[in-house]
Amino acid sequence: MKIRIESFVELCHEKGIKVTQQRIEIFKAIVQAKDHPDAENLFHKLRKKLPTLSLDTVYRTLWVLNDLGVITTLGSSRERTRFDGNLSHHHHFVCNRCGLTSDFYSDELNSLKVPDSLAELGNIEQTHVEIRGTCKTCINKVFKQIQSDKSSKGSRS
Amino acid sequence: MKIRIESFVELCHEKGIKVTQQRIEIFKAIVQAKDHPDAENLFHKLRKKLPTLSLDTVYRTLWVLNDLGVITTLGSSRERTRFDGNLSHHHHFVCNRCGLTSDFYSDELNSLKVPDSLAELGNIEQTHVEIRGTCKTCINKVFKQIQSDKSSKGSRS
DNA sequence: TTTAATGCAAAAGATTTGCAACATG
DNA sequence: CATGTTGCAAATCTTTTGCATTAAA
């Protein structure tokens, strides 16, 4: 834990982000929480330590932590509820950049063997594999970005 | 497609739910859509056919369809954004009833082999298995519910 | 001292609800 | 005809934003 905080502080320095008491406490709270809390949960927990903390700071800080890559969100958040009319057993490829979610099929993945320890958590109804990455479209965008950066910085010295 | 509509209509009859033009069209739209649309997407598509359709009917109908089990949602929706401070490679068990999300670990699942066809979609950064079912707590609740139903309906004739 | 982060209040966005009019069984 | 469903408008709930104040580098 101490190590995670230290490396977090270091990362903030690297990125030129200020290390505030709020950020440290919010970071500690989300790392220690094992229940995937939402912003309001954390806000209530933290208010005991930081009585002046505001909810919008919690939101802002969580997205900062997410952008730094030191926490993640459940589901591809920051989006509205999306619905799926595909009832056949399928899996998802989700683009980390644009949220595009494509179905794919795999008999092998359909019959995944899961650890026995799961029986302790409850009974299993479906298993589903979510693969995250960068979709073709976004790869192209990034590629073009790099190209234009190169040419604007001037290649001929 | 025709078959899916017919069985949907039949299911509505079974459940005592009225089959309205709106429900049929919304059902068709979500089943045909391959892009996991949100309520607003569907609303705009459908407005062309049903100019008097309202957004709240789309929402209401989608949840009806979801409750009927003929569609699903992406992520455990109807919840606020939840954050995850666990950076180690892990997987999730999600309760279909209460949304409880527990982490679990499995070396085997960490090194999952995915279909080659995925390369067409983009490049892969993480793979993550989501197992859905009913958690212990909810199983107990359902069990107690059944017990009390039995006794209130009177077992001794 | 310079710049970025916080807290507040207000705004914006997404989803839900009450209710009268309407359509379905 | 009785009841459930729709459309509208208003309400609610979640998340974001503008801005003056405060704290970090």
**For residues B62-75, average pLDDT:** 94
Q: CA of B146: how far to CAs of A12, B21, B133, B151, in Å?
A: 54, 36, 19, 9
Question: How close B92 comes to chain A (CA, Å)?
Answer: 10
Task: Say which nucleotide is closest to residue A40, CA to C1' distance.
Answer: D14
H-helix or E-strand containing A129?
A: strand A122-135
Distance A60 CA to C9 C1' (A): 16
Mean pLDDT across chain B: 91
Distance, CA of A86 to CA of B110 (rounded, Å)? 26
The per-residue b/e assignment along B13-49, b for 16 or more CB within 10 angstroms, e otherwise, is eeeeeeeeebbebbbbbbbebeebbbbebbbebbeee
Whether B155 has a pLDDT exceeding 50, the answer reads no
| Separation of alpha carbons B35 and A137, rounded Å | 15
**CB contact A64 to B (< 8 Å):** no
Distance CA A117, CA B104 (A): 9
Chain A CB contacts of B127 under 8 Å are: 129-132
B110 and B126 in contact (C-beta within 8 Å)?
Answer: no
Identity of the amino acid at B29? A
Q: Which residue is nearest to nucleotide D6 (CA to C1')?
A: B57
Q: What is the CA radius of gyration of chain B?
A: 20
* Yes or no, beta carbons of A75 and B71 under 8 Å apart: no
Beta-carbon separation of A129 and B134 below 8 A = no
Pairwise CB contact (< 8 Å): A130 & B135? no
* Chain D positions with any atom < 7 A from a protein CB: 4-10, 14-18, 23-25
CA of A57 to C1' of D19 (A): 15
What pTM did the predictor assign? 0.88
With CA of A77 and C1' of each nucleotide, the nearest comes out as D15
- Is strand C within 7 Å of residue A57 (CB)? yes
pLDDT value at residue A144: 83
A56: Cβ under 7 Å from strand C? Answer: yes
pLDDT at A154: 45
Distance B37 CA to C15 C1' (A): 16
DSSP-assigned states of every residue in chain B: -HHHHHHHHHHHHHHT----HHHHHHHHHHHH-SS--BHHHHHHHHHTT-TT--HHHHHHHHHHHHHHTS-EESSS-SS--BEE---SS-EEEEETTT--EEEE--HHHHT----GGGGGTEEEEEEEEEEEEEEHHHHHHHHHHHHHHHHHT-S--
Residue B157: what pLDDT?
A: 32
pLDDT tens digits for range B106-146: 999 999 999 999 999 999 999 999 999 999 999 998 888 78
Identify the pLDDT of residue A151: 67
Measured CA to CA, the distance from residue A47 to residue B29 in angstroms comes to 45
pLDDT band at B64 (very low <50, low <70, confident <90, very high): very high
Tokens 């993945």, residue located: A109
Whether the CB of A96 is below 8 Å from some CB of chain B: the reply is yes
Whether A66 contacts chain B with CB within 8 A = yes
How far is residue B79's CA from residue A81's CA, in Å, rounded to a whole number?
9
User: Comparing C-alpha atoms, which of B135, B76, B92, B103 is closest to residue A121?
Assistant: B135
Collapsing DSSP states into helix, strand and coil, what is residue A10?
Answer: helix
* pLDDT at residue number B154: 44
Give me the residues of chain A with pLDDT under 70, please. 149-157
The SS3 assignment for A8 reads helix
What dihedral do alpha carbons A23, A26, A27, A30 form, nearest 10°?
-160
